Amino acid sequence: MAYEKLFESIKIGSTELKNRYVMAPCNFIFSDWTGLINEEDIAYYVARAKGGASVCIVGAILCTELGKEVANIPWPYMTSIEHIPGLAMLAESIHLAGAKAFAQILPASGSRGNPMRDDVQPIAPSAGVEYVFSTDQSHGQAESILKSRIKGRWLKEKYLSHPKPREITVAEMEQLIKESAQNAKLAVLAGFDGVELHLCHHYILDQFRDPRFNKRTDKYGGSRENRHRFILEYAEAVIKSLREEREDFTIGVRVGSECGEEGGYTLEDTMWLAEKLQELGIDYWSTSIGFPPIPECKMDSKVDGGYLQWSRKLRDVLKVPILTASVHSPDLAEEAVTKGWTDLIGLGRPLVADPELPNKVKENRVGDITKCLKDNLCWVGFDMCLPGRCSQNPELGREKYNPKYLLTEGFKGAKMLPAVCRK
Ligand SMILES: Cc1cc2nc3c(=O)[nH]c(=O)nc-3n(C[C@H](O)[C@H](O)[C@H](O)COP(=O)(O)O)c2cc1C
Ligand code: SF4
C-alpha cells in the first residue's frame, strides 16, 4: 500500500482508531436555534464515517445556559436530557458507519457575536474589545466575500458591523465551569467514545489567554498564570467530572498555538499550557491556530500543512498523541505521520469537499479526490447562519438524499441497543 503509515491503527486513550485520518470538527448549520440534531447533521457525519475517517469529531456543542443565551450561531446543544435522543442517534449512526465518535464541547462563543441578534450582547474577558471580522480566520476573505455577495444594503451594513461585548463576571465564569463539568457527562449517555475540549479559535476561553482581549486586573488577567487560570480551572473540572463518570473515556483538547500579531499569546505560552493540561490527564492534543493566524496557517494560505510546525515543536513537551489539521495532501500526511511530526491528520475542509478522501487514499485513487479550493465559501455561510454549502461538493448538507449514506446494514440485534445498554 502506498500510504501504509496513514492506515496503521493507533490507540488514543482507550479508543482504538483504525487509521490516522480524523474528521476534524467542522460544524455546519443544518439545524435551527433549538440546538437539536437533525437528519441533515446525521447524514453529514455518516458520509464522512463511511468515507473512511477513523473518528468523527462532532463540531462544537454548547454545554451551558449562558452559552446558549449569547450564542452567535445555532450550535448544537448538550445542556439537558432533551438533547440526548438526537445526539445518541448521531453517535450510533457514526458507529454503524464504521467510525468512532467524539463530541467537541464549548462553554460559550465569546466576543464574536451575531450582528443580526441586536438583543444579545456577546461576552468576553473584558468589555468593548470587539471581534473584528476582517481579521477572522478567513482574513479579509470573509469580508470581501460578504461585500461582493450580499445584495441588500441593510444586510451588508449589518453583517459588517461588530457587536461590542460586555465583561463576563466571575460568578458567570464559575457557572460556565460548573455546568460544563456536569453536562459533559451527557456525552457518555449519548454513547460517544470521547470528548474534545474546544479551547481555541477565539471563543471565550481562548480570549482569556490573549492580552489584547484580556485586560482584567483580577486574578484572571495580567501574568501568564492569571491569563490561563480560567482555561485550566475549566479543563480540570471537566476532566475530573468525566473521569469520575467513566475512567475509560477518551479526553482531548484543541488548543490555539500562537497568534500571528504582536501582543497575542505565543508558542511559549502554549508549550507552558501543554504541560499543565497534560498533568490534568488528557489523552490527546489537537493543534490549532491563534488569532489572527500566522500567514502560512490562514484559511486561504497556499501553503499546505502549516500547523505541522507547531506539532513538531509541541512534541518536546507532549507525551500524548498529537492531531494536526489542515494537511490536505496525502503525500505530506504520510510523510508527517511517518516522520513522527504528528500522529493523526485532521481533515476539515478536505472532507467537506470529498467525504470519501480516506477511502480513495487507501485504494490509491488520489487522482479521484475532489480537492478543497480554500475559497472558504463554506466558512462564510457558517458565520451568516446559512446552511452549509460547498463550492466543490453539491451534496454537502444534502447527504440525506443519497441512498449511499442510508444505514441499511447493521440494523440488527445488539447493534440496535443504545450504547449504555451494550456490553
Ligand atoms: C465550516 C467550518 C466549521 C468549523 N467548525 C469548527 C468547530 O466546530 N470546531 C473546531 O474546532 N474547528 C472548526 N473548524 C476548523 C476546522 O476544524 C479546521 O481546523 C480548519 O478548517 C482548518 O483545517 P482544514 O484546512 O483541514 O479545513 C471549522 C471549519 C470550517 C471551515
Ligand atoms: S472547496 Fe471551498 S467551500 Fe468547499 S470545503 Fe473547500 S473551502 Fe469550503
pLDDT at site 212: 92
Structural domain that includes position 294? 5-414
Asked if residue 163 is part of any domain, the answer here is yes
Q: How far apart are CA 15 and CA 57, in angstroms?
A: 13
Nearest CA to ligand 1 atom 25: 326
Closest CA to 256 of 246, 266, 245, 241: 266
Probe residue for ligand 2, chosen from 379, 384, 386, 390 as the CB with the greatest number of ligand atoms within 8 Å: 390
Mutation probe of ligand 2 site: the residue of 23, 26, 377 with most atoms within 8 A of C-beta: 377
Domain assignment of residue 420, yes or no: no
pLDDT at 374 over 90: yes
Q: Provide the number of structural domains found in the chain.
A: 1
List of residues 6+ apart from 383 with CB closer than 8 A: 73, 133, 136, 142
- CB-CB contact of 165 with 123 (8 Å): yes
Q: Is residue 421 part of a domain?
A: no
Q: What is the pLDDT of residues 143-193, one digit of tens each?
A: 677 777 778 888 888 877 778 899 999 999 999 999 999 999 999 999 999
The string of pLDDT tens digits covering residues 64-79 is 999 999 998 899 999 9
Q: Are strands 21-23 and 344-347 parallel, antiparallel or unpaired?
A: parallel
322 falls within a domain: yes
Contacts of 157 (CB under 8 A, 6+ apart): none
Q: How far is the CA of 420 from the centre of ligand 1 (A)?
A: 30
| Residues 239 and 290 sit within 8 Å (Cβ to Cβ) | no
298 belongs to a structural domain:
yes
Q: Which of the residue ranges 117-131, 164-178, 235-249, 353-367 would you say has the lowest mean pLDDT?
A: 117-131
What CATH number did the domain enclosing 276 receive?
3.20.20.70
Q: Is 333 among the domain residues? A: yes
- d(Cα 372, Cα 361) in Å, to the nearest integer? 15
- The size of the chain, in residues, is 423
Residue 422 placed within a domain: no
Are 199 and 239 contacting, i.e. CB atoms less than 8 angstroms apart? no
10 within 8 A of 343, measured Cβ to Cβ: yes
Domain assignment present for residue 23? The answer is: yes
Q: Which of 230, 247, 135 is nearest to 180 (CA)?
A: 230
Q: What is this structure's pTM? A: 0.96
- Closest-approaching ligand to the CA atom of 254: 1
Grid coordinates of 357: 478522501
